[in-house]
Amino acid sequence: MLETPIAHHAPSSALPARLADHILAELIQRGAGPGAFLPSEGELVNRFQVSRPVIREAIKQLEGRGLVEVINGRGARVRPLGEQQLRAYFTHAIALQRLPFRELMEARKPIEIQSARLAAQRRTPDQLDAMQDIVRRMRRNIGNADVYVDLDHDLHALIADASGNLIIAHLVRSLRGALNDLTHETLYRRRNRQQLERVHALHESIVTEIGYRNPDGAGHAMDVHFSEALSFLIQRQEGGMARAARSP
């Protein structure tokens, strides 16, 4: 156990952060899994020789990092892995850091390609049935951007789940969740019917190759899908810049 008092090793303003790191290290050391409770406030006070307010602030910092959740009357416990924290990070990057939409799409592309490749190898019959059902519903709603975008989100999430890789599943959901409004406006509402038909044909191709258990084919279809989306996005951005330059 990490029982070293820390009160004399850091300025008071840094104590909560330092203590939070110590608590996290202890959780890792003892292999605490999701749902495991942290020691009580009293135990932590005695172990680290700090005051209760410092303990509470340290727990608050761990909660802010999305690592623990505080249950009233029961204490703090380890949170299960989820995409909420990642989604918050990517949303922050877009909204506050002004990270270009294009950069997140470029980061998302290789993840989605690997997702499709793994799904082709690992998908279950039920997962394939669900993908095929979503693609059929997408076909019926190809002219309804609101419905189509939601179904597109569901399809990519299902492919990520079928990859059998939890990290990929969380990354795909969090990136797509942060990009959802931008995807809706830029990649669907601004396309004509012919362009939307092309997008849908690629979705169908991805699912078909996953159905054939063809990782190369599924990865290639996803690669083309994202390459064309990025190309369309860049054209729209450059066109907008050109119009702005011509404006008085």
Per-residue pLDDT, 222: 98
At residue 13, the pLDDT reads 67
Does position 1 have pLDDT exceeding 50, yes or no?
A: no
Please tell me the distance from the alpha carbon of residue 225 to that of residue 199, in angstroms, as a whole number.
7
| Confidence at residue 79, expressed as pLDDT on a 0 to 100 scale | 84
Contacts of 206 (CB under 8 A, 6+ apart): 116, 159, 218, 221, 222, 225
What percentage of the chain carries pLDDT values higher than 70? Answer: 81
CA dihedral of residues 201, 117, 86, 63 (deg, nearest 10): 140
Alpha-carbon distances, residue 95 vs 70, 83, 101, 234 (angstroms): 28, 18, 10, 19
Domains of the chain: 12-78 (1.10.10.10), 84-246 (1.20.120.530)
Residue 240: pLDDT band (50, 70, 90) is: very low
Residues with Cβ within 8 Å of 221's Cβ and at least 6 positions away in sequence, in order, are: 116, 202, 205, 206, 208, 209
**pLDDT tens-digit profile of 183-209?**
666 667 778 889 999 999 999 999 999
Residue 8 has pLDDT above 60, yes or no: no
71 strand-pairing partners: 75
Please write the tens of the pLDDT for every residue from 136-145: 999 999 989 8
Choose between 236 and 107: higher pLDDT: 107
Quickly list H helices, the chain.
15-29, 41-48, 52-64, 84-95, 101-122, 125-140, 145-162, 166-182, 193-211, 215-246
Q: Does residue 77 have a pLDDT over 50? A: yes
Highest mean pLDDT among 159-163, 195-199, 225-229: 159-163
Predicted local distance difference test score (pLDDT) of residue 159 = 98
Nearest to 83 by CA among 181, 152, 160: 160
* pLDDT value of position 5: 54
- Overall average pLDDT of the 233-239 stretch: 66
Q: How far apart (Å, rounded) are the C-alpha atoms in residues 159 and 149?
A: 15
Q: 78: which strand partners?
A: 68
